[in-house]
Amino acid sequence: MMNVIDAIQTRRSIHDFKNELVDEAVLQEIFQIASWAPNHRLKEPWNVVVYQNEGAQHYVDLVIESYLRQGFAKGYSAEKADKMMNGIKQFLIQIPHHALIYLERDSDLHKFEEDYSAVCAFIQNAQLAAWEKGVGGLWTTSPYIHDTEFIKGIGLDPASHKVAGVIQLGYPARIPEPKARRKVQLTFQNESFGSNSK
Ligand SMILES: Cc1cc2nc3c(=O)[nH]c(=O)nc-3n(C[C@H](O)[C@H](O)[C@H](O)COP(=O)(O)O)c2cc1C
């Protein structure tokens, strides 16, 4: 079994997937493991819908419609826009699974932020658990996650639901080279400071 540091450091965002579905039991296990994410008041605020097979067709159509509404093809001839959108559609359709993660919007902003933070921890846990099982993911937050028509299209209520993101999932066909990270500069505050300091 991969240790947690290896999983964190070797996981890569995957853009190219094999034409192969991940077993539903494996996906279930990945998100079950992810649910050990810290979450305040044990609200377990995450919800996951996995679009796959025929279920991905309508989902991808909604994504394309959202892109068009947001002007992705603005200024293009109808023919060029059509070609571009078809290209995006073909690309999205061959991704084995689209796991959309959403949460309820708490009316209290502080609690909403806590829930959203917990959901982000859940998403990264899912990516790491998936990686350990040889499954790759790409965490995406394309603009459709804020598009009320898209949100309604997938059967949610924009007033009460927030789409946190979508993890595209599948077995990697290609694993990109790591992108180096900068040194994290820690500031250690050992002396007293602020209004209490003399
Ligand atoms: C909130 C969030 C949204 C992201 N959205 C996208 C995206 O829309 N498209 C994309 O190619 N990568 C997206 N990424 C992945 C980053 O580009 C990726 O993590 C970064 O390039 C580092 O690569 P690595 O994950 O392989 O280390 C997103 C990552 C996060 C955390």
Closest ligand 1 atom to 124 CA: 31
pLDDT attached to residue 104: 98
Indicate the burial class of 79 (C-beta count within 10 angstroms; 0-12, 13-18, 19 or more): exposed
Q: Please give the average per-residue pLDDT across 141-156, as a whole number.
A: 97
Q: What percent of the chain has pLDDT over 90?
A: 95
Long-range contact list for 67-76, CB < 8 A, 24+ apart? 67/143, 67/144, 69/147, 69/149, 70/143, 70/144, 70/147
Q: How confident is the model at residue 15 (pLDDT cuts 50, 70, 90)?
A: very high
Q: Looking at 68-72, 161-165, 182-186, which range is the least confident one?
A: 68-72
Q: Looking at 21-30, 76-85, 145-154, 175-184, which range is the least confident one?
A: 76-85
CA quadruple 72, 75, 78, 80: dihedral sign: negative
* Structure tokens that stand for 42 in this block: 């044990």
Q: Please give the average per-residue pLDDT across 127-155, as a whole number.
A: 98
CATH no. for residue 183? Answer: 3.40.109.10
Between the CA atoms of 159, 161, 163 and 169, what dihedral angle is there, to the nearest 10 degrees? -150
Q: Please give the average per-residue pLDDT across 47-72, as a whole number.
A: 96
Instruction: Map residue 81 onto helix, strand or coil.
Output: helix
Residue nearest to atom 30 of ligand 1 (CA): 139
pLDDT attached to residue 128: 98
Q: How far is the CA of 12 from the centre of ligand 1 (A)?
A: 9
Q: How far is the CA of 138 from the centre of ligand 1 (A)?
A: 7
Candidate of 13, 119, 163, 169 to mutate for ligand 1, largest count of ligand atoms within 8 Å of Cβ: 13
Q: How far is the CA of 93 from the centre of ligand 1 (A)?
A: 19
Domains identified in the chain, total number:
1
Find the domain containing 76 and state its range. Answer: 4-196
Residue nearest to atom 31 of ligand 1 (CA): 139
Distance separating alpha carbons of residues 46 and 128, to the nearest angstrom: 17
Closest ligand 1 atom to 123 CA: 31
Instruction: Map residue 170 onto helix, strand or coil.
Output: strand
60-112 pLDDT per residue, tens: 999 999 999 999 889 999 999 999 999 999 999 999 999 999 999 999 999 99
Residues with CB under 6 Å of ligand 1 are 12-13, 138-142, 165, 176, 179
Q: How confident is the model at residue 197 (pLDDT cuts 50, 70, 90)?
A: low
Q: How far is the CA of 97 from the centre of ligand 1 (A)?
A: 17
The average confidence (pLDDT) of the chain is: 96
pLDDT attached to residue 1: 86
- Radius of gyration in angstroms for the set of CA atoms belonging to the chain, rounded to a whole number: 20
pLDDT attached to residue 72: 87
Cα–Cα nearest to 38, from 104, 119, 111, 139: 119
Residue nearest to atom 27 of ligand 1 (CA): 12
Instruction: Map residue 90 onto helix, strand or coil.
Output: helix
- Between 2 and 155, name the one with better pLDDT: 155
Q: How far is the CA of 15 from the centre of ligand 1 (A)?
A: 10
pLDDT attached to residue 198: 56
Q: How far is the CA of 107 from the centre of ligand 1 (A)?
A: 29
Adjacency order of strands within the sheet including 97-104: 47-51, 97-104, 161-170, 136-140
Q: Please give the average per-residue pLDDT across 5-28, as a whole number.
A: 98
Residue nearest to atom 8 of ligand 1 (CA): 140
Residue with tokens 């070609």: 83
